């Protein structure tokens, strides 16, 4: 069996599932999009659920590797902080609200694994970032780290859920950016906070200009 073909199936599924929802994407459609027969697909995966498991592992590895690359990069602290937040927000933007609700309904085990991943892999990274920021003098040294991290975890777990997002007008990425902006506004020093706010404001302006250019075309 070809590992390249197996990867191609996973990558195509990773593109379709967040866009349309796991239950809405059929094996026939996945085969057509990938350019293979069902017989070929079933040589690699026994079922669509098995493909969904592979996509989940692929996504978690992608996020973890991306975050570690940013954290261990050579950019200035504030630049890495901003890149980290935008990287996660961009990843979250790939799955629309309907697809999230669909995943929770049809594969609640995967949703629980996603929540576990956030707790075990992502939140410890934010603790490390706070520690580094305190040493550099850009994060206030009087904060209670356990408390602020608990507040961050509670906000994310309470808001980034299908039950909440489906009745709100904002997207998953917008919700995450809002949570992160409030979080860092509270823990950064005044100077660093102003810099972070300026960076996010510039990005928002660039996004609005991009949207305007697109519509003009």
| Tokens at 165, concatenated | 């997002």
Closest CA to 200 of 104, 84, 105: 84
Q: What share of the chain is helix, strand, coil (3-state, %, to 5)?
A: 80, 0, 20
H/E element, 3:
helix 3-20
- Number of domains observed in the structure of the chain: 1
In a domain, 28, yes or no: no
In a domain, 19, yes or no: no
| Tokens at 98, concatenated | 């309907």
pLDDT of residue 205: 53
Model confidence pLDDT, tens digit, residues 161-198 = 888 888 888 888 889 888 888 888 889 998 888 888 88
139 bridge partner residues: 188
| Tokens at 170, concatenated | 């904002």
CATH number of the domain encompassing residue 165: 1.10.357.10
Model confidence pLDDT, tens digit, residues 25-53 = 999 999 999 999 999 999 999 999 999 99
* Average pLDDT taken over every residue of the chain: 87
Query: Any idea which of 61-70, 132-141, 200-209 has the lowest mean pLDDT?
Result: 200-209
Which residues span the domain enclosing 183? 59-216
| Tokens at 168, concatenated | 């709100």
pLDDT of residue 177: 86
How far apart are the C-alpha atoms of 205 and 26, rounded to whole Å?
Answer: 39
In a domain, 207, yes or no: yes
Calculate the CA 60 to chain-centre distance.
Answer: 9
Question: In the Cβ-directed half-sphere of 29, how many Cα atoms lie within 13 Å?
Answer: 13
State the average pLDDT over residues 17-25: 93
Closest CA to 180 of 111, 130, 113, 112: 130
In a domain, 156, yes or no: yes
């Amino acid at each position: 069996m070809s590992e390249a073909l197996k990867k191609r199936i996973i990558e195509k599924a990773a593109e379709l599932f967040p866009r349309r929802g796991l239950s809405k994407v059929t094996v026939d459609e996945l085969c057509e999009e990938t350019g293979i027969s069902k017989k070929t697909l079933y040589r690699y995966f026994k079922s669509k659920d098995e493909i969904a498991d592979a996509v989940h592992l692929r996504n978690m590895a992608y996020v973890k590797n991306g975050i570690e690359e940013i954290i261990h990069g050579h950019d200035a602290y504030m630049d890495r902080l901003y890149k980290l937040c935008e990287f996660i927000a961009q990843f979250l933007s790939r799955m629309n609200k309907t697809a999230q609700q669909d995943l929770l309904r049809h594969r609640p085990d995967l949703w629980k694994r996603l929540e576990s991943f956030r707790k075990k892999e992502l939140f410890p990274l934010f603790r490390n970032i706070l520690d580094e920021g305190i040493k550099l003098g850009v994060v206030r040294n009087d904060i209670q780290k356990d408390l602020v991290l608990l507040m961050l975890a509670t906000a994310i777990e309470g808001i980034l859920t299908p039950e909440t997002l489906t009745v709100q007008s904002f997207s998953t990425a917008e919700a995450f950016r809002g949570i992160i902006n409030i979080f860092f506004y509270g823990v950064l020093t005044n100077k660093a906070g102003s810099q972070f706010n300026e960076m996010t404001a510039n990005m928002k302006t660039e996004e609005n200009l991009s949207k305007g250019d697109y519509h003009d075309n």
